[in-house]
Each structure stands twice: as structure tokens, then as C-alpha cells.
Amino acid sequence: MVEKFLCGKVEPRDYQINLYMGAKEQNTLIVLPTGLGKTVIAAMVAEYVIAQKKDNVLFLAPTKPLVSQHYETLKDLLSLDEKSISKFTGEVDNEDRLLRWVTSKLVVSTPQVVINDLRNGLFDISRFGLIVFDEAHRASGNYAYVEIASSFLECKKRLILAITASPGADRDRLDEITKALGIESVRIKSENDPDVMKYMGGIEIETVILPVPAHIKDVAALLRQVIDNVNSKIRSSGIIKSGRISRSELASKVRELVEEAKNGNKNLFGVIPYVTAAIRLDYLLEYLESQGLEVAYDYITDILNSEEKTLKRTASIVSRMPEFSEFMARLKELQSIGVENSKMAKVLALCEEQISANPDSRVIVFTHFRKTSELMTNYLKSKSTLLRPTRFIGQSSRSGDEGLSQKDQEIILQKFRNNVFNVLIATSVAEEGLDIPATDLVIFFEPVPSEIRSIQRRGRTGRTHAGEVKILIYEGTRDSGYYFSSKRKESRMKTNIERIQDKPDQPAGKKAVRKSNLDDYFS
């Protein structure tokens, strides 16, 4: 029985048992909100394949921290010894992997290691009876999941379990994922399903609309004059005749222009630097209006001081404009004064309100940019004795900002679990998959246009008890556009996955609450 399968270590929930029963019989895509135990379901299916079918299992996860996390979880849940389970993240040399491929009952690996070993003939994929694809929404385009699945689907004995919290809004991409993984059954569970609802605490989602500070408006107005000058030059070239020049349009135009210039239209070489300058200035405006002075100043000074050829061209173009000189003078003046960032002030107030009401609370603040996470952490440390913030970023180092090693990440998360830290300032590394403790409050420093990232951020609260999500939005800026973009994509995603699932479950009442102040404001 299922309880015996889990060795009594975890008592499966009703919906986990329901999903397991179908997934052990046919290639299945399971869509389940973050924090509802997708790994437990995968462990149940894996044990069935190992114990009942006497087959081997390959468990794939996209990042090294996720592989390590799943390795420890599966080793414990399935009571496997060191010889029966292997972890591959690139550190094990070829000779050792060659042996482990043959002797292991369960291999947990990044797809990059698997695809390289598959191409080099280090193992026979047909010796596996099950492949689990974690974060299955990645299985499109040239991602390694696609090639691995293609090879596996040619085998006679093959079972695929694909798991994700959010497969994405694009219908063609969703179809691409199910086709690439040979999916025969799609099972979707939401917080509103009867067999899930009783395990959920509920999430209250609120948009917090902030007025754009007057000093930001003033500086942004100067920057728009610079952008208008650059756009006028682009229009005069004839490559874009009229209408608003969007960043996405310019980005796609650059590739076309470069090809045309290489094929003989040499005049375009004089236009291309203006197009790239316009793209960078648009990013600068976004950073100014959504992140604040500090991030914008950091970005533009990097451009002005860079020795990289295309960045030097951008610097040369804008530096000749009086409007840009005025913009930089005002930006530097405000930086020297040290004007407070109103979004950071709001984060401080929300965190202190939460911790004051419940000293054992934990809060996650998501920021899109590393620089913002650094500034936010330092700000909270300097302003509050109640908060114990720490920064949680990825492993790569950038421009003097050293990343966190996997060990450092694990230490930070453990201290967050133990309430040594009560506020985690996290970039996107905390959005996908990592076993981060359930929190009482999640704050979006800014909305994200991706429905996948938005869902994953929200999933860090409301798992076992009621939680709150606060989304900070500067009124009348791109923040609001990104917020509604994410909402539209999420709505399309739900429509698309309902279209392809086996038997849509009827909602039994609305568990998540979304305050509609932003919707009303913009209606």
C-alpha cells in the first residue's frame, strides 16, 4: 500500500494519492501549485518503478541546488543506501559516472550532465524505466529536456512523469512541452480543488499602489527628452517611420539592421548605435521608475565608464546632448543628498508590521535586480532593530558582487527556517523549486511580467496557514503594465491547461482572495 511505500515517513495527502495512481500507469504532466508536495508524488512513482517493476529511475532537475535538494529528499523517502542512489551535477568525473550509471537504481542529475553523457555514449538510457522531469515547463526549444525525452521515448519500457507549478500561458509552447515529453495524461490541481483545499491556508493578494516621488518624475522627464532626441534620429533614418518606438521593436530591428548592413547597406552602420542607445535608455527609464535612483545611477554610470565598444558608442551619443548633461547633474545631486526610496520605506513598514504582530513570522521580499537586493538588505539593517534581514542570490558573481556558493545558500535557508533571519531578500533564485520554508508574507518589490515567476513567488506563502502577498506598484509606470501582463498570461495559462487536462475539476469555492484596488484604479 502507499503508506508502506513511504516507509511511514510521510503520510500522503488525498490529492497526492490520486495523482500517483494515474502517473504510475502512463506518461503524465502534473501541474500543482508550489509547496503542495510534487516531490512526494515523484517519490511514490519512483518507488513503484524500483520495487514493483524492478526498473531504474532517472530524476532530472534544472539546477545544482535543486538536484542536491531532491537527492537528499529521495534518499530519505525511499530509504536508499549510498550505492543505490547517485547525484550528478558535474563534479563527478567520467570514470566514476560510468560505473554509477550501471550500478545505481536512482540517478538524480542536471539535464546538462545527462545530455553530455548520452551523446558521449557513457550510459544506455534504455536501462531506465522512469524519467522524472522537474520544472517541466523548461521542456521546449533547445533545452536538454527535449533531446533526453526524445531518446527515452524510443525505448520500449518508458514512463515519464513531468511536474511543474506553472507551465506558462502560451498555448503553442504548452503543446510543445506535452509533445516533447510524450505526455498522455495531463492532471491539474489548484488551490480550489476539493481534495487540495483542506490542506491550504489561503492567500490574500493585495496590490499596494504608491505615487511616483516628485524627484523621480522630474529626473524621468529630463531622461525622456534624451530618449526623444535619440528616437528622432532613428525616425529620420527611415527605418521606423511613425508611432511609438517600443523596446521590443527596436531589439528585433537591431538584428535585421546588422544583417542588412553586412549585406551591403553600409549607411545602416551609422543608425545601429542609435538603436542600441535607445534600447539602453529605455531600460534606464524603467529602472528609474520601478527601482529608484540608486539602480538607475548604477546602470548609467556603468555605461559611461565602460570600455566595451558598443557601450562606449552609447556614451558618446548621449554625452553630446545638453539634456543628458542636465539629467546626469540632477541624478548626481539627488544621489549625494541621499533621497529615501519610497518603495524601500514601504517594505520596511510592511515587514515591521508583520513581525510586530507575530514575532515568529518570516517574510520574503522578492527583487528582480541584484543591486536592489543589496540596497534593500542594507536599508533594512540600518533602519530596523526588529528585522533580521539577509540576502539570498545566485551562485554566479557579477561586477564585484560575489555570488553565494551552494553551501552558503543552504546555510542561509536553514537559518531562515530556524528564524535566525526573519526577512529573506531574494532574487529569482528563490522562485523556482528550492525548499524555502513557508512564509507569512511575500512582498514583490516590483511586479514581474512572467506568469510563471509570479505564480512561483506567490507559492512561498499560504501553504499550511493563511498568508499574504503584497505587490508594490508605482502608479502610472511600467509596474502597472507588468502587473496586468502577468494577470492576462496567467488567465490564458489556466484556459490552456484546462483545455488539455483529462477531467477538469470543478472549483469548490474561492480560496485565494485578490483585492481589486489596482483593477478598479485602472478601469
Q: What is the pLDDT of residue 172?
A: 81
Task: For 82-122, give the DSSP string.
Answer: TTTEEEESS-S-HHHHHHHHHH-SEEEE-HHHHHHHHHTTS
Overall average pLDDT of the 282-311 stretch:
94
Is 448:454 a contact under the CB 8 Å cutoff?
A: yes
Q: What is the pLDDT of residue 91?
A: 78
DSSP state of 404: P
pLDDT > 60? residue 484: yes
Overall average pLDDT of the 3-29 stretch:
82
Query: pLDDT digit string (tens) for 373-382?
Result: 999 999 999 9
pLDDT > 80? residue 149: yes
Overall average pLDDT of the 230-254 stretch:
79
Q: What is the pLDDT of residue 271?
A: 84
Task: For 437-486, give the DSSP string.
Answer: PPBSEEEESS--S-HHHHHHHHTTB-SSS-EEEEEEEETTSHHHHHHHHH
Q: Tell me the percentage of the chain whose pLDDT exceeds 70.
A: 88
Alpha-carbon gap, residue 270 to 343, rounded angstroms: 40
Please state which of the four CATH numbers 3.30.565.10, 3.40.50.620, 1.20.1320.20, 1.20.210.10 is assigned to the domain occupying 214-337.
Answer: 1.20.1320.20
Overall average pLDDT of the 186-208 stretch:
78
Q: What is the pLDDT of residue 44?
A: 94
The topology (CATH level 3) of 203-211+340-496+509-522 is: Rossmann fold (3.40.50)
pLDDT > 50? residue 522: no
Q: Quick check: helix, strand or coil at residue 139?
A: coil
Domain boundaries, the chain: 2-192, 203-211+340-496+509-522, 214-337
**Domain 2-192, architecture per CATH:** 3-Layer(aba) Sandwich (3.40)
Q: What is the pLDDT of residue 513?
A: 37
Name the packing angle between helices 272-290 and 214-236 (round to 10°): 160
pLDDT > 70? residue 289: yes
- Equal fold, 203-211+340-496+509-522 vs 214-337: no
Alpha-carbon gap, residue 350 to 486, rounded angstroms: 23
What's the Cα-to-Cα distance from 508 to each of 40, 41, 194, 497, rounded to whole Å?
Answer: 25, 23, 6, 18
Q: What is the pTM of this model?
A: 0.70
Q: How confident is the model at residue 32 (pLDDT cuts 50, 70, 90)?
A: confident
Overall average pLDDT of the 355-361 stretch:
92
Average pLDDT, whole number, for the chain? Answer: 85
Alpha-carbon gap, residue 416 to 443, rounded angstroms: 16
